[in-house]
Structures are given as C-alpha cells and as structure tokens.
Amino acid sequence: MASTITQNVIISIRLPSELIEKLDRLAAWQDRSRSYLASRAIEDFVERESQAMAAVEDGLEAIDRGEVLPHSDVKPWLQKLERGEHARPPRPKKR
C-alpha cells in the first residue's frame, strides 16, 4: 500500500497589525501556532469557496439543460420561508 506524503509550501502574506494581534491572542488561547490557525482559516475559506463555485457551475449546467425557475415561482416560495413557513421549493421547468 503506497503512502502519500504531503509537502508543505511556505507563503508570505501581508496582514494588518490588528489582525495579527487577534490571531496571536487566538493562537495563545488555543495553544496553537499562528501558522496553524492561518492554515486552518485558509483551508476553511478554500472549501467554502469551492462549494460555492461548484453550486454556481451546477446552476449554469442546469440552465444549459433548460431547467429554469421563473421569478414568479420563486418569489412566493421565498416569501413563505421568510415568514418561517415550511414550503417545498418549486420544481424547475423545461424552457
């Protein structure tokens, strides 16, 4: 069974001193290094943005397939959700 070795790469970024002070306080409180917390923050950001990008790409592919929701179907659904009501999402319609 082959093992995978992850190679770390060093990067340099400029941050406001106030942010570094907050990061250092968090690092001390969590008994972690500044680098560890920064790495985790970047990992979380990349994961969230990757998920958002995938959702947009899925939506664009759905549009290409002709699966669209007219505003007149979406607006009442969103209004119900805003009022705290349970509502099933409208189904896409073929163009």
Phi, psi (deg, nearest 5) at residue 22: -65, -45
Where in the chain are the domains? 16-64, 66-95
Q: Name, in order, each residue with C-beta under 8 angstroms of 29's C-beta and a sequence gap of 6 or more.
A: none
pTM (2 d.p.): 0.69
Task: Categorize the per-residue pLDDT at 91 as very low, low, confident or very high, splitting at 50, 70 and 90.
Answer: confident
d(CA 33, CA 16): 18
Strand positions, DSSP E, the chain: 67-68, 93-94
Query: How do residues 42-88 score in pLDDT, each as one tens digit?
Result: 999 999 999 999 999 999 998 898 888 888 989 999 999 999 999 88
Nearest to 77 by CA among 92, 67, 64: 92
